[in-house]
Amino acid sequence: MAQATRFHGGDKAPNNGIYIETGKNDHHMGIEDPQQIELKKGDKLPENTNDDRVWVLKSKHQTVH
């Protein structure tokens, strides 16, 4: 069974790591300094800034613009 990759506020983190807030067309929406939070597996994600945004696990190779 595939694991979810997008999460909303109140969801539990499936893995340890840094989670970053993103949205549809995030580069076009002007998310220049997205929220980032380090969580441990099972921690609850904070609420999103707005309903169009989600949390994703930041990959080791992903850079923030």
pLDDT tens readout for residues 25-51? 555 556 677 889 999 999 999 999 888
Rounded distance, CA 23 to CA 16, Å? 21
Residue 24: pLDDT over 60: yes
Residue 17 falls in which region: left (phi positive, over 0), alpha (psi -120 to 50) or beta: left
> Residue 62 — pLDDT band, cuts 50, 70, 90?
low
For the cut 90, the answer to whether the pLDDT of residue 14 exceeds it is yes
Residues linked to residue 7 through DSSP beta bridges, in sequence order: 55
Question: What Cα–Cα distance (Å) separates residue 17 from each residue in 20, 41, 59, 60?
Answer: 10, 8, 9, 10
pLDDT at residue 1 above 90?
no
- Whole-model pTM above 0.85? no
